[in-house]
Structure 1
């Protein structure tokens, strides 16, 4: 393996390096307290209660610890991995004992029985993080294959290989036929939660406005229509299944998984072309667009008339990322790019300040009708009705959805960087500020501050994000102190709301990676670190890493040994060895050294540092979870 040795003294390590190592230690101690306070004596979550009957919430439980294996894989303590394993096994036991209205448990064959891929995308982030953390664990590998085969093998009925479609908006280990909206018992899909806030997804019903659905009798009518129009067939959100299948490929290298991902993505691209360049949000089991919506390409579950681009943009972006990873062909990105461009072309410029205009893009599409409903922050008519123009409505700045950012990150093209700039909300988003409060699960836009750092506009970012992460952990520890044990009220979110581990800053700084798309994306990174002495992923004890440049040429990376022992580490190009080190220069040297390898070995004596300027050939290798020395 190509070798580099550090020679530059770092007797006083930089503050960011010390803060980074302290954060790893803080996470481990916080997880111990979390498990002691919020899991029962058998290591099981306290929710669902024994008498619970339902289909929703398993993903929320897993979200309470899903990122612990990821932090372990970056260099965190062994306790993060072990505690995560214990919590997940406990959650599986609890889920397999919790009944649904359908006569079988919430979790069957260790997988959710029948749910949408907004929620299953969230819950399976744990599955993908375990691939990074413990690819040698036989149970992890077996689950990866069995989960993927629920779609690739076709025995569950989830997937129609001839028509290349997932056969239901909800699917899982029991197949796609257990989707009954009335079984959700008015939450979270009831009128008060969703419809009065977002407006009706259809204009051909007997209701005049969304507020009419607050009448329970009308809500029952809504469930009838939902079951008629939204309980069967394919939707763009199902493209998140490509992560489950890509995960199996990363463990096995089996070409049938790669083929499934590219075939399914291509099917959606063909439907989009057939629909005039806009991805349809509902496809019947026959393969016909709008089969259950009287021919309309909009009005499907999680579609253009429901949550709009916030939901529709997930699947195309995730699937394109996975296809690029598997094939190396960045042309796949033209699919999500085309959808973003449709919205940009329909956008309206609104003055934000004396210098800048913000582009308000439409997030939804629907038929003409009454659009009086609570939609704060969107453009309205003079009478207060939500602006509707040629079918498009809910014109507002791009939300904190990271789709444009991920498009740039995967391509690193100037045009995609310009799209990010074009969609900036100049009225509120300060790109040179880090919010010290605990961010929400979506990332709260921290990628934009990181981008400002990479472009030289925010040099304080490493210190600020690490300080914010430490404050966020301390906020959660204060909650633990105040509660002194299990909370008085336990619901499906209780673990997620108290999770003391925050991974985003470490991802950005150590791996040059953004927050994965939260609803089911895989980690995509520039580099990844391994500890050959301990035979595990992550930075060795006492070693800190900082990615200081990410562009189409390559990366700049600084490594510091803050500890008292000499260390060795292996730096891999990409999270899965998918990239190649074409050339490296160390400590400002002008001479190129050419590793022509996906990994390099770095020797870091105690109290030293090294700066590596690396040219990368991106997506040059078949990706794998395998450790680089294998």
Structure 2
């Protein structure tokens, strides 16, 4: 549409806008340091050891998982080129190591495959015009939508094994049966992989070699049929569907997710496995729990709910029907119903170490603990509720019921806990409570504090890179993930109006999509900062600020959720700036009269921001009325920046 004159001159440039642009700049400087220090010219990571089993593919992709998202939000052009170079270099590296076939994981569980997928899917969304990645997207999706590849059993409507991939459904959990012994110290906090085996009641029972072998043999015997974490595989099909609306992909998502919904029936909690016969729980003696990466082991709700939510969101994306989210709502309601008071530090939660670091002194204070797992003795492994599930449910649906679930979860955080605490976790997330409080009007300084915190994280990770020679953990395979300086959680919240991506295979949804009109590429233009400050069922409140005092910037806005939502109208309170900046002899610029300017559009709103201008926009959103697609941007303008 035509340029919308919705901006007004700034008398002051807000601190959050200056901090946001500084964050873009500092992330990029630190990212280049990471690239130069830890990758080779062809994109491979330096110093990777040999692989001993099926595990590890994800660890080489994860250090780059959010680089494409940074580019889409407005990071420099070089970010996209470096992302592709890293993906292709790491893919070649893993292929030579025997871990990939035809550029895809030979076969592993989807808790880990989903982590690998984030990087690839991000590149597809960032540059859908790149036919090489589009072809890969189609090829990878076909591994699951086409039964000929051996992963999908069309007759029973199941993925045929917990480990799956380029080689089809892979038998067992490794190529050989290795006794599952009690000396696996890193696995002890998660307890027995299978509960209920006669004579194996505690972890120490695995010290008996016969028990250790029997446990491993049983794990391998049950490693067939479908498991709940496989629902994340729907992101491969959804990613290729976003290119061209491929009906094979969408039909497979509908059928596969609906199969899980049908088998759930009236059960208050979804089964975590489907046997090779197509019957829910048939390998678990009819129980709804017990599968690999299921309700009993190792992470329970954390892995089952996230993967189910990913599958439900992908189903909702292609059908415009949110009812599949009920699979996740019942899980969330079930664990909330079992909640009890307690402290993170005083709990026996298997992942309490991360919560102790996150909460700091507040870890000793009472909050709400929920059970993450279920076994022979009922619910267990009580810990603080991770907010990714309730925040995504509310963000996707915007219903009052899901808002109430989220607010109930947030109310369980210790009152003394800092909502903007400086910490990092693997998922580059964890500040959902502060963000939601800001949107609800309860934490007005969240943007500034969160940006300050994010800058501190970039500084810390840069310092760790520069000090790697003295770091005893620098040789760990996860080191690159830990020091990745591309921090996108706060930018995704404030610019994209969305929670951080669901880490085990979610697609990169945002509430708004931006385009730099002058450069013909996605993301905010240089100098421009954005703040989404309101999200509800009808619209979005957005403030745009051009921090440059010499350059005009032009930004195009489109609806989010890959275009499932459409911007249909915008209004702004605009100053008559005909007298701005006023005569040099006056002490201040005269303030012009304000009026409300409204425009209608069809999901194509272009806003011109002269130097030191801002626009306070009230966007009307027609939710679930668009045709979701990866967005190919228009060609750049011939004159850059309207300087």
TM-score, normalized by length of structure 1?
0.88
Give the distance between the partners of 2:179 and 2:485, measured in 1 at CA. Answer: 31
Report how far residue 189 of structure 1 moved: 11
1:173 to 166, 169, 176: 166
1:37–1:485 Cα contact (<8 Å) kept: no
Q: Which residue of 2 aligns with 1:555?
A: 540
Q: Which residue of 2 aligns with 1:286?
A: 277
2:626 to 621, 624, 630: 621
Higher mean C-alpha deviation, range 129-138 or range 499-508: 129-138
- 1:423-451 CA-to-partner distances (Å, cap 9, x unmatched) read 236453657631223x1023452011100
Report how far residue 284 of structure 1 moved: 1.0
- 1:194-216 CA-to-partner distances (Å, cap 9, x unmatched) read 24543453123322312222556
Q: Which residue of 1 aligns with 2:220?
A: 227
- 1:288-315 CA-to-partner distances (Å, cap 9, x unmatched) read 1222222322111111111221121122
Report how far residue 459 of structure 1 moved: 0.8
1:421 to 402, 407, 423: 407
Q: Structure 2 vs 1, CA of residues 483 and 531 (structure 1 numbering), >3 Å: closer, same or farther? A: same
1:599–1:628 Cα contact (<8 Å) kept: no
Matched, 1:45 2:26: no
Give the distance between the partners of 2:124 and 2:565, measured in 1 at CA. Answer: 18
Q: Structure 2 vs 1, CA of residues 592 and 541 (structure 1 numbering), >3 Å: closer, same or farther? A: closer
2:192–2:202 Cα contact (<8 Å) kept: yes
Q: Structure 2 vs 1, CA of residues 323 and 504 (structure 1 numbering), >3 Å: closer, same or farther? A: same
Q: Which residue of 2 aligns with 1:21?
A: 21
Report how far residue 362 of structure 1 moved: 2.9
1:576–1:623 Cα contact (<8 Å) kept: yes
Higher mean C-alpha deviation, range 11-20 or range 510-519: 11-20
Give the distance between the partners of 2:227 and 2:2, measured in 1 at CA. Answer: 46
1:366 to 371, 375, 379: 375
- 1:372-412 CA-to-partner distances (Å, cap 9, x unmatched) read xxxxxxxxxxxxxxxxxxx33334442x2511111111111
Q: Which residue of 1 aligns with 2:380?
A: 393
Report how far residue 456 of structure 1 moved: 1.0
- 1:92-128 CA-to-partner distances (Å, cap 9, x unmatched) read 1110011xxxxxx201111100011100101100112
Q: Structure 2 vs 1, CA of residues 284 and 426 (structure 1 numbering), >3 Å: closer, same or farther? A: closer
Supply the RMSD in Å over aligned alpha carbons: 2.7
2:602 to 597, 605, 624: 597
Q: Structure 2 vs 1, CA of residues 569 and 430 (structure 1 numbering), >3 Å: closer, same or farther? A: farther
Q: Which residue of 1 aligns with 2:353?
A: none
Report how far residue 335 of structure 1 moved: 2.1
Matched, 1:565 2:551: yes
Counterpart secondary structure, 2:614: strand
2:99 to 99, 103, 106: 106
Report how far residue 340 of structure 1 moved: 1.6
Report how far residue 163 of structure 1 moved: 1.8
2:309–2:389 Cα contact (<8 Å) kept: yes
The number of equivalent residue pairs is 595
Aligned pairs for 1:422-501 within 5 A: 422-424=408-410, 426=412, 428=414, 433-437=419-423, 439-483=424-468, 490-501=475-486
Q: Which residue of 2 aligns with 1:133?
A: 126
- 1:480-509 CA-to-partner distances (Å, cap 9, x unmatched) read 222369999534212112211100110011
1:97–1:106 Cα contact (<8 Å) kept: yes
Counterpart secondary structure, 1:583: strand
- 1:148-198 CA-to-partner distances (Å, cap 9, x unmatched) read 011112221111122211111110011112433475978999842224543
1:59–1:123 Cα contact (<8 Å) kept: yes
Q: Structure 2 vs 1, CA of residues 590 and 10 (structure 1 numbering), >3 Å: closer, same or farther? A: closer
Give the distance between the partners of 1:161 and 1:277, measured in 2 at CA. Answer: 27
Counterpart secondary structure, 1:362: strand
Matched, 1:331 2:327: no
1:145 to 138, 143, 150: 138
> Which ranges of structure 2 fall in alignment gaps of 5 or more residues?
345-361, 575-593, 636-643
Q: Which residue of 2 aligns with 1:386?
A: none
- 1:576-629 CA-to-partner distances (Å, cap 9, x unmatched) read 122122332112788673524122111111111111001211111110012365
Q: Which residue of 1 aligns with 2:201?
A: 208
Counterpart secondary structure, 1:584: strand
TM-score, normalized by length of structure 2?
0.87
> Which ranges of structure 1 fall in alignment gaps of 5 or more residues?
99-104, 369-390
Give the distance between the partners of 1:191 and 1:182, measured in 2 at CA. Answer: 19
Report how far residue 39 of structure 1 moved: 1.7
Give the distance between the partners of 1:189 and 1:116, measured in 2 at CA. Answer: 23
Counterpart secondary structure, 1:612: strand
1:6–1:605 Cα contact (<8 Å) kept: no
Q: Structure 2 vs 1, CA of residues 175 and 568 (structure 1 numbering), >3 Å: closer, same or farther? A: same
Q: Which residue of 2 aligns with 1:541?
A: 526
